[in-house]
Amino acid sequence: DLGEGDEVRISASGGEPIDLDSRDNRQIYLGRTATVRGVVPSQRPGREVVLEAYSRGRWVEVDRDITDENGQFSMTWKPGYAGHRYVRVRRTNPASTESPSGIRTLYVYRKRVASWYGPGFYGNRTACGQTFTSRLMGVAHRSLPCGYIVTIRYNGRYRTVPVVDRGPYVRGRDFDLTEALRNYLGFDGVDTVRATA
């Protein structure tokens, strides 16, 4: 599992004008710093690049760097809230035909308490209008909108699922996992998970 104090690097690769390192992790705990590394393929030193994060409907600059003699750069960002966060890198003075790097997803987790449910509810309608079955993959939450996408991480496994129901109704718990999600994650009883919501 991710270490609480680890610096996590996010990345991607491809034939874009700016290549982001593809060996790095894209999962981080809220309050930790993400490091974005990559290269401007021209490999000329002194190119200024900008790291941008998508926030409230627009791209916002969060860091800058100057490429080294190999065209490499390294920038950091500390996300302010959990969720599926989006980042990209661009040059400050790109050619008219040059586009930013591809958009990459950073999974920012926070600690949550979860339980699970299933037997006894099969065949019923969920609060979100689905038929509850042993194969329904999702979570119940008291206030997140139906269909809201959340990633749950437990013991090194993770899965991105929708909110499919309301609950849990036990004080101190944040999510109820469906039995299908519970089985996928190897979850049992009541325990702490990492969630992007």
Q: What is the pLDDT of residue 13?
A: 39
152: burial class by Cβ within 10 Å (0-12, 13-18, 19+)?
Answer: buried
> Residues 54, 80, 128, 115: is their CA dihedral positive or negative?
positive
pTM as predicted: 0.80
- Which class is 110-195 in CATH? mainly beta
User: What are the pLDDT digits (tens) for 103-150?
Assistant: 888 899 999 999 999 999 999 999 999 999 999 999 999 999 999 999
* CA angle centred on 50, ends 30 and 75, rounded to 5°: 50
Q: How far apart are CA 190 and CA 192, in angstroms?
A: 7
22 Cβ partners below 8 Å, 6+ apart? 11, 12, 13
Domain ranges (residues) in the chain: 8-102, 110-195
Whole-angstrom Cα distance, residue 33 to residue 76?
7
CATH code at 8-102: 2.60.40
